Amino acid sequence: MELQQSQPQPRYWQSLDELKGTPEVLEAKRHEFQKGVTDGFDVKQMSGISRRRFLAAMGASAAFALASCKSYLDQGEVVPYNEQPEELIVGRPNYYASVIRTSHSATPVLVKTREGRPVMISGNPEHPFSRGGISSHAQARIMGLYDPERLKEPMQQGAPTTWTEVDGVLRKALSGLAGEGKQGLVLTHCLMSPSAKKSLDQLVKKYPQLTVHSYTHLNHSHRDAAWKKSYGQDAFPALHWDKADVILALEADFLGVEGDAEAERLFATRRDIMNEAVKFNRLYVAEGNLSITGMSADYRLRLRPDAQYAFVMALAQALGEAGFSLPGALSAKAAAFNLKQFNQTYGLAESTLKHLVADLVKAKGKALIYAGDRLSESVHLAVNALNEALGADALYDFTHPALHQHPLSNPAELQQAVAEMQTGKVGLVIHWGTNPSYHLAAMGYAEALKKVPLSVMLSTHANETSADCTYTLPVHHDLEAWGDYETHSGLCALQQPVVAPLHKSRQAEGLFLTWAASADAAYSETLYLDFLRYNWQESVYRQSGSLLDFQNYWRTALHDGFVNYRKSGASKPAYRAAALNDLVESKAGDGYVLSLHPAYATLDGEFADHGWLQEIPHPVSKVVWDNYAAVSVATARELGVKTDELIQLDVEGKTLTLPVLEQPGMADKVIAVELGYGRTQAGTIGSQVGFDANPLIRFDSATPMIAAVNATKASGKHRLVTTQLHHAFDVPREQDLHFARQIVNEGNYGDYLKDPHSIEMHVHKIPNITKPIEYKGIKWSMAIDMNKCTGCSACIMACNVENNIPVVGPEQVDKGREMHWIRLDRYYSGTPEEPKVSLQIMLCQHCDNAPCEVVCPVNASNHSDDGLNQMAYNRCVGTRYCSNNCHYKVRRFNFFNYRDEFAKAYYSQELAQLQHNPEVTVRSRGVMEKCTFCVQRIMWARQEAIREKRDLKGTDVTVACQEVCPSGAIIFGDANDKDSAVYKYQDHATSYKVLEALNAAPSVTYVTKLRNTHEKV
């Protein structure tokens, strides 16, 4: 205060005279407001316009001028809430637990909504299985909600109709079935909801002529059938992947398309460099096609899938020799096999096989053999026997075994149903969510459907089947629907609507209940909710033995998104060696073998119309917007084709022509093709993308997805678009650059245990002539643990959703203009036959000495005090110099206004725009963009901290990619906080920075990938 007083008061003056203080001025000032000073004014002589009027006129003309300036920002109107919902505060997100389902899975999720609008789906962190991990598919569902081509109202053969009419027609048709002596069919995908099952049961009860069939391409039928034979139980136990020291995966992509977030998470716990209490596991993979799991393998055996039976038997024989007691039936059958002989036939590395047998012997009780879904029941039977011998009991979890609400129909049953449709015995087919005309093309489903007088499709989107259906009825999207899902017994997840239905859709189960009820019963939105609650009260609530009253129990379940009502499970049932009598020997052919896989991007085609998924590069080949025939280099040479050239596949007269991709690591003579492409009725986005391999499925075989095939070169070419150039194995100077340039560091786990510093990347210390910038307070940093990363690409999807990344389409990707802020780099080393795959998540490294910042002429690229490399979109003029100077080439440029450019502005439509995250600017054309470290989340956390009057901590922020990563490979936080995880990673002996020698001082630390092999890397 004293200081202020001692300062001289400023003096204000109006004229120099005043400043000087002449007496005239002082006198005049005194009379400023004196009465009568204006008496001398003659108003008539003054201008007619008063000051007031002048200002009014000025104001009006300015207003008119402004009104004529139409700004593009002014479009639309902002309407405030008339009555604000109680739970909603404008600008604050609300989170709801719910479930996202696909044709084969149900993922517990947390949905973020803003002003009542869902904007992001992430995993439910409380769920004991996923723990917040989520696949890219479940995340991409948000795109389906706002898809402009979603079904909006009931349609009768292309013409709009009303629900009343539909109800009437269907009731009549259903009750007419009995009179006509015809059957009715309900076809759906995997039924995981107990209440949905009950609603269908009610329908069947009312109309007994109905038969329910469920199927999906992504099923565990063979595994489950073999389990039932071996152990007498339906339910396959959940697996303790984290307790297995040695895992042998036979044609099993359990970290990829055949697995789930839980498998990835548990597997990663055994690759945790920070947890010294656990040792790394060792993963052996024997497969024909290079999969995500194969890329993660410590040892990989290239083996054609039809030789898996022989391999298992040879392995059994070897294990028998090693002293394991095998069931008699197995030893007898295995006696004809010999690992050495097998090895000679298939040219596998002898040392690897030796290690495999030795490791399995050594890890007895903690070794697991896991056979893939597509292998025959016999292989699974033999594997069960081997696991029994290996004593894998401890690895099974019977608390929450896998559960099917309705047994999946086997191919024979489906074939039978199709035959009945063909003969006209079927009077009505109700499809629910599935697409059999496409999936069951090999059975001739589409033709059979045409013979059915009345067919109905309940779906969110039109598809190949709905094109031939009498009625196409829109049902609620996952985010609009109620539901419960029990994929694992005792663990039931609740699905609740997070947004009111956007269109005139209905809850499918509600429809079943309506049709099953008396003729005058009308559909209502609460119909199924009441039914669901009643079911829960009767079953889940009862079984849980909860002390809460039901109302509270229900509320808690809704809040948590799931209930875990069983705490302990049964013990392992006894093994029945008799199951081995069903072993059917299968001999591997000499010719080409076709291996069909569900696609990483589209699964069985369900997600073909989700542009984001189509644009996520294939985890292995980096191909986007397409499928192809993957073959080994030798096989390609044998067929006389190169990448992009066409081959014709012929399976028992059914042909398919598609382009070839020379995929390193493929077993010779194997032709791997992904299903889920070549859809014809998947809207603007999904139609005519890739090639439909469904007709090649051999439903009559023990292995429908694996079949002998004739392959011949066809004329023509089809360009496969990739985000990474095809690796040139034949150019010596381009080999192993990722090691030579210090981009990727890898080491051997054994070496690491002996001396962690022995695998350190050696980087010359660079003397600085300038003082490095010190970050006081928080320094945002990231660590990426490449030991945990499998390459599942869920992070890319999370980034897409969080940061409003546009879809650009294959033509633009082909030009090198994909917009992903985070990418998954894949490097090969070694030979094209036995490549070693190195993955690397690459995103903006937020360099302290960022090269992009110095060259930006307009300061659009600059640095924050907490270590962020920032992008000021409004300032960016788009010189692209920053991208040129970026060592990591992680910057992305809007060469077009991509939302307007792609697919005739498909994603510019009003509905699609609702999907955008309101926290993140939608970038216009001509602007550079890149990873921001989710700056909007940082700002949110900071705002919360300020509101709560506390310091912001590094752990307050979870970035989008980190949030969804099932294996926890991405760590984000404050590098200045010595207790933070990110600091510990940065400080770890095995951590390194990419291209560290360039002295850009990146903020992203990578953890050396350790391979748990016997040999040195």
Q: How many residues bind another protein (CB under 8 A)?
A: 56
Distance from C-alpha of 553 to C-alpha of 925, rounded to nearest angstrom = 51
Which one of residues 248, 927, 969, 982 is an interface residue with another protein (CB under 8 A)? 927
Burial 216-252 (b: 16+ CB within 10 A, else e): bbbbbbbbbbbbbbbbeeebbbbbebbbbbbbbbbbb
The answer to the question of residue 825 lying near another protein (CB under 8 A) is yes
Cβ neighbours of residue 421 under 8 Å, at least 6 residues apart? 185, 429, 445, 448, 449, 451, 452
CB of 145 to another protein, least distance (A): 29
Which one of residues 335, 816, 831, 987 is an interface residue with another protein (CB under 8 A)? 816
Cβ neighbours of residue 48 under 8 Å, at least 6 residues apart? none
Which one of residues 724, 864, 936, 1013 is an interface residue with another protein (CB under 8 A)? 724
Which one of residues 50, 875, 939, 979 is an interface residue with another protein (CB under 8 A)? 875
Distance from C-alpha of 412 to C-alpha of 539, rounded to nearest angstrom = 33
Q: Which stretch binds another protein (CB under 8 A): 407-415, 421-429, 537-545, 886-894?
A: 886-894
The answer to the question of residue 884 lying near another protein (CB under 8 A) is yes
Which one of residues 530, 734, 755, 951 is an interface residue with another protein (CB under 8 A)? 734
CB of 732 to another protein, least distance (A): 11
User: CA triplet 557, 562, 565: central angle to 5 degrees?
Assistant: 90
Which one of residues 556, 859, 944, 951 is an interface residue with another protein (CB under 8 A)? 859
CB of 736 to another protein, least distance (A): 10
The answer to the question of residue 3 lying near another protein (CB under 8 A) is no
Closest Cα to residue 495, out of 260, 195, 89, 798? 195
Q: Which stretch binds another protein (CB under 8 A): 144-152, 317-325, 568-576, 816-824?
A: 816-824
The answer to the question of residue 926 lying near another protein (CB under 8 A) is yes
Distance from C-alpha of 828 to C-alpha of 662, rounded to nearest angstrom = 13
Query: Residue 538 phi/psi, 5° resolution?
Result: -80, -40
Which one of residues 893, 907, 972, 1006 is an interface residue with another protein (CB under 8 A)? 893
The answer to the question of residue 725 lying near another protein (CB under 8 A) is yes
3-state secondary structure 129-167: CCCCCCCHHHHHHHHHHCCCCCCCCCEECCEECCHHHHH
CB of 851 to another protein, least distance (A): 5
Distance from C-alpha of 152 to C-alpha of 503, rounded to nearest angstrom = 5
Whether 1004 contacts 783, CB under 8 Å? yes
Binding mask 793-812 for another protein (x = CB under 8 A): -------------------x
Which one of residues 237, 256, 690, 851 is an interface residue with another protein (CB under 8 A)? 851
Rounded to whole angstroms, what are the CA distances from 1002 to 610, 748, 863?
A: 34, 25, 13
The answer to the question of residue 719 lying near another protein (CB under 8 A) is no
Q: Which stretch binds another protein (CB under 8 A): 106-114, 174-182, 407-415, 993-1001?
A: 993-1001
The answer to the question of residue 896 lying near another protein (CB under 8 A) is yes
Which residue is associated with the tokens 């598809």?
A: 463
CB of 721 to another protein, least distance (A): 12
Closest Cα to residue 296, out of 620, 739, 618? 620
The answer to the question of residue 740 lying near another protein (CB under 8 A) is yes
Q: Which stretch binds another protein (CB under 8 A): 267-275, 388-396, 580-588, 854-862?
A: 854-862
CB of 888 to another protein, least distance (A): 6
> Across the strands, what pairs with 826?
839
The answer to the question of residue 550 lying near another protein (CB under 8 A) is no
Distance from C-alpha of 610 to C-alpha of 121, rounded to nearest angstrom = 15
The answer to the question of residue 415 lying near another protein (CB under 8 A) is no
Q: Which stretch binds another protein (CB under 8 A): 168-176, 377-385, 713-721, 813-821?
A: 813-821
CB of 621 to another protein, least distance (A): 13
Which one of residues 217, 333, 738, 846 is an interface residue with another protein (CB under 8 A)? 738
Distance from C-alpha of 638 to C-alpha of 662, rounded to nearest angstrom = 12
Distance from C-alpha of 187 to C-alpha of 536, rounded to nearest angstrom = 25
The answer to the question of residue 880 lying near another protein (CB under 8 A) is yes
Q: How far apart are the first and last CA of the chain?
A: 71
The answer to the question of residue 733 lying near another protein (CB under 8 A) is yes
The answer to the question of residue 186 lying near another protein (CB under 8 A) is no
Secondary structure (3-state) at 942: helix
The answer to the question of residue 743 lying near another protein (CB under 8 A) is yes
Secondary structure (3-state) at 507: coil
Q: Distance from CA of residue 254 to its chain's centroid?
A: 15
Q: Which stretch binds another protein (CB under 8 A): 211-219, 305-313, 526-534, 851-859?
A: 851-859
Nearer to another protein, 699 or 895 (CB): 895
660-679 residues in contact with another protein (CB under 8 A) are none
Angle between helices 194-206 and 525-538 (to 10 degrees): 110
Which runs of consecutive H residues, i.e. helices, occur in 181-245? 194-206, 221-231
Distance from C-alpha of 540 to C-alpha of 546, rounded to nearest angstrom = 10
Which one of residues 362, 637, 713, 889 is an interface residue with another protein (CB under 8 A)? 889
Secondary structure (3-state) at 1006: strand
The answer to the question of residue 737 lying near another protein (CB under 8 A) is yes
Distance from C-alpha of 766 to C-alpha of 997, rounded to nearest angstrom = 7
The answer to the question of residue 823 lying near another protein (CB under 8 A) is yes
CB of 410 to another protein, least distance (A): 44
Nearer to another protein, 95 or 739 (CB): 739
CB of 866 to another protein, least distance (A): 20
Nearer to another protein, 95 or 896 (CB): 896
Angle between helices 508-516 and 194-206 (to 10 degrees): 30
Which one of residues 364, 925, 942, 1014 is an interface residue with another protein (CB under 8 A)? 925
The length of the chain in residues reads 1017
Which one of residues 406, 826, 836, 937 is an interface residue with another protein (CB under 8 A)? 826
Nearer to another protein, 155 or 842 (CB): 842
Which one of residues 113, 156, 712, 879 is an interface residue with another protein (CB under 8 A)? 879
Which one of residues 894, 976, 991, 1003 is an interface residue with another protein (CB under 8 A)? 894
Distance from C-alpha of 693 to C-alpha of 683, rounded to nearest angstrom = 19
Nearer to another protein, 107 or 1008 (CB): 1008
Rounded to whole angstroms, what are the CA distances from 126 to 110, 550, 569?
A: 10, 21, 20
Nearer to another protein, 367 or 805 (CB): 805
Query: Residue 245 phi/psi, 5° resolution?
Result: -85, -35
Which one of residues 55, 89, 322, 877 is an interface residue with another protein (CB under 8 A)? 877
Closest Cα to residue 166, out of 477, 430, 492? 430
Closest Cα to residue 1000, out of 777, 772, 781? 772
Q: Which stretch binds another protein (CB under 8 A): 260-268, 572-580, 896-904, 911-919?
A: 896-904
The answer to the question of residue 895 lying near another protein (CB under 8 A) is yes
The answer to the question of residue 830 lying near another protein (CB under 8 A) is no
Distance from C-alpha of 727 to C-alpha of 873, rounded to nearest angstrom = 35
CB of 734 to another protein, least distance (A): 7
Query: Residue 993 phi/psi, 5° resolution?
Result: -115, 145
What residues line the site for another protein (CB under 8 A)? 724-725, 733-734, 737-738, 740-741, 743, 812, 815-817, 823, 825-827, 840, 842, 851, 854-859, 875-881, 883-885, 887-889, 891-897, 901, 924-928, 994-995, 998, 1000
